[in-house]
Amino acid sequence: MGPTGTGKSSFVAKATNSGDEGVGHALVSHTSEIKAAKCIIEKSSVVLVDTPSFNDTHKSDLQILESISDWLNETYQQGTLLSGILYFHRISDNRMAGTPLKNLRVFQKLCGDKAMSQVILVTTMWDEVDESIGNERLEELEGSYWKAMIAQGSTTYCYRNTLESSRQLLSQLVERKRREVRLQKQIANKNLGLKETNAGELYSRLDQIAEKRTEVLARITAQRQQLAGDQAMADDLRKQYEALKAELDRRGQQMQSLKSTSVKRPAGYIRKALN
């Protein structure tokens, strides 16, 4: 798992010696569905599962979370557990903010504390930075953003984009005990709906955004009425109004696509505010 462009699909292609098929080289997400590929490591059959990123260019975060949830639940019901979870991060990124940070937080919620020992934090793109700068960034990651995960048993690995490096990484997983992640247990064992799980916090976050946007729309409408004599200001506020309305519609469609009953009240309230 990891943000778009961190080299997940490239790693799978390298480890399975399948060339560049299925590897994205543009700024858009290439992996839009969960894909599995098999390779042999130390006489053991290893299945690599490549997942879409939460900042996917073709699907919403909620759709991605649902697809990962469905796959984890289905395989868990079949008795399939995970030997390890690889989280990819570009060492070429000079800061941890925005999308990478959001990806990391959702990842932590999905795995849960007890599965942290199964996690390997993989840094990629070492050929794009000076070695000393890369080491400084790695130290910062280990000492801050990844500190809690490492304290709970996660390890780090510098992936060098070679077949040998990919095989060395996977060899660390072959002898590990397999286990479930938090999302699997919450859905399968506790019969929780996706929105009730820790990873499902995306739902509540969208609800909060919807409520906040509605409040902003009400204020903009009031200001537009007060400034009826200022056409330029009225036009500017109208543009803001339309932009917010479009954002609300988009968020509402995302929530409805997962049939979340929790959004019925905010959605109705939003529609009433916009009419």
Q: What's the pLDDT score for residue 124?
A: 98
Q: What's the pLDDT score for residue 57?
A: 67
- Tell me what the pLDDT averaged over the chain comes to: 79
Q: What's the pLDDT score for residue 251?
A: 59
For 40-44, the CB contacts below 8 A with 24+ separation are 41/167, 41/170, 41/171, 41/173, 41/174, 42/171, 42/174, 44/174
Q: What's the pLDDT score for residue 269?
A: 33
Q: What is the pTM of this model?
A: 0.71
87 closest CA partner among 29, 155, 32: 155
Ranges of residues in the chain with a pLDDT under 70 are: 20-32, 56-57, 97-99, 195, 201-217, 219-220, 223-230, 233-234, 237-238, 240-241, 244-245, 247-275
Q: What's the pLDDT score for residue 274?
A: 36
pLDDT in tens, 195-254: 678 777 655 565 566 666 666 667 667 765 665 666 776 677 667 667 766 766 665 665
Cβ neighbours, 10 Å, residue 178 = 12
Q: What's the pLDDT score for residue 21?
A: 53
